[in-house]
Amino acid sequence: MKAIVYTQPDAVEVLDRDMPDLEPGEILLRIDASGICGSDLHAYHGHDPRRKPGLVLGHEFAGTVIASSDEARMPVGQRVTANPLVTCGHCDYCLQGRDNLCANRGMVGMNRPGALSEYLAIPIRCAIPIPDTLPSVSAALTEPAATALHAVNLTMRAMSRPLPEVSVLIIGGGAIGMLTAALVTSYGCKRVCVAETNALRQASVSRHLGCEVIDPTVSPPPESAFDVVIDAVGAAPTRNLAIAATRPGGVVMHIGLQAWSSEIDMRKLTLAELTLLGTYTYTMSDMHATVRALEQGNFGSLEWVETRSLADGPAAFADLAAGRVAAGKVVLIPELA
C-alpha cells in the first residue's frame, strides 16, 4: 500500500508499506479521507521527538471496514471514523470517562502507523460509525472538531456568563481555530474575533465564518478586551497575547502546542483573577458527540477544507509549511486501484 512517511526533517515521501495485519479485536480500514494535522507539520519539521523518521503520519481520518475480527461488533462495509487515542480502558482516568488522560495511551500516527495511507488497522473499540449523510471528508474532521468541542465545553464550565453574552477572541485561523469559531457561533456567541497572521487564512476565515478577523502583528487586540480567549496556536507570543487580551475575571483556554514552554504574565493572571485552562484532545464521548454535531451542521459548511490526492501529500506538506495554503485543513484522498 501507499503511505505518507516522515523520512527526515522537512521531508515526507509517498512510499510502499506492507498491508496492516488484522489482529484480534481490530478492524482493517480502507482509508477514504485523512487530514494533515498541525502536529503532523510539527513532526515534519523535526520538532517532535515522539515521531521518528520512518513513521507513517496522520490521525484524522474516515474509512470503510474491509475486514473485521468480530463482525458482530463491527461489520464489513461499515463507514467509520475513529478515536486515534488507543487507551487501556482500565486505569482511573479511563474508568472516570476521562480517557484522553489515560496514562497508558498510544496514538495512531505516533507509536502506531498513521492514517495518511491507503489502509489502516485500528481497535474496534476506537471506531465510531458515521451516518450515510456525512461525507467522508467531513467525517475526517471529527478528530480536530472534537478537540474544539472538548475545549469549548471545558471553557463554558469556567465562565461566569453564558456564551451568547460574552466576547471571544480565538488566536489562530487554522483548523482548530476555525472549528472553534464556528462552534461558539453555533452556540449563540455573537462577538467572535479570530486573530491570524497569514493573509490567505485571514481571507478564508472572513469569507467562510463571517466573523471579525485581525492580524495581531498589525492591529493587536486591545488589552483586557475579551471575556474568553482561546489560544489555538500555543507559541510564546500567542500565550502572552491571550493573557493580555483577557479582561479581569475572564477565561484563557490553551489548546495549541507549538512551543513546549514559555514564560507568561503571572502578575496579570493573579491580579486580574483569570482562569487559565489547558485541554488535551477529547474523550470518546466527545468523539461521538462531534460526529452528531458535524451531521447537524454545528461546525458550519466546511467549504473551507481543501482536498488533494494522497500522491500530492509531500507537496501539501511543503505548501502548508511555507504558508501557501488558504485552507485551515488539507484532507488527502487515496487513489485506490
Write the pLDDT tens digit of every residue in 70-88. Answer: 999 999 999 999 999 999 9
Domains along the chain? 2-141+305-333 (3.90.180.10), 145-278 (3.40.50.720)
pLDDT at position 336 is: 60
Query: For residues 227 and 247, is the Cβ–Cβ distance under 8 A?
Result: yes
Which residue in 209, 97, 106 sits closest to 153, CA to CA?
97
Query: Could you give the C-alpha distances from 251 to 168, 176, 192, in angstroms and in order?
Result: 10, 18, 15
Helix axes 175-186, 142-158, angle to 10 degrees: 50
Per-residue pLDDT of the chain (337 residues), as tens digits, is: 999 999 999 999 999 999 999 999 999 999 999 999 999 998 999 988 899 999 999 999 999 999 999 999 999 999 999 999 999 999 999 999 999 999 999 999 999 999 999 999 999 999 999 999 999 999 999 999 999 999 999 999 999 999 999 999 999 999 999 999 999 999 999 999 999 999 999 999 999 999 999 999 999 999 999 999 999 999 999 999 999 999 999 999 999 988 888 899 999 999 999 999 999 999 999 999 999 999 999 999 999 999 999 999 999 999 999 999 999 999 999 986 4
Q: What is this structure's pTM?
A: 0.95
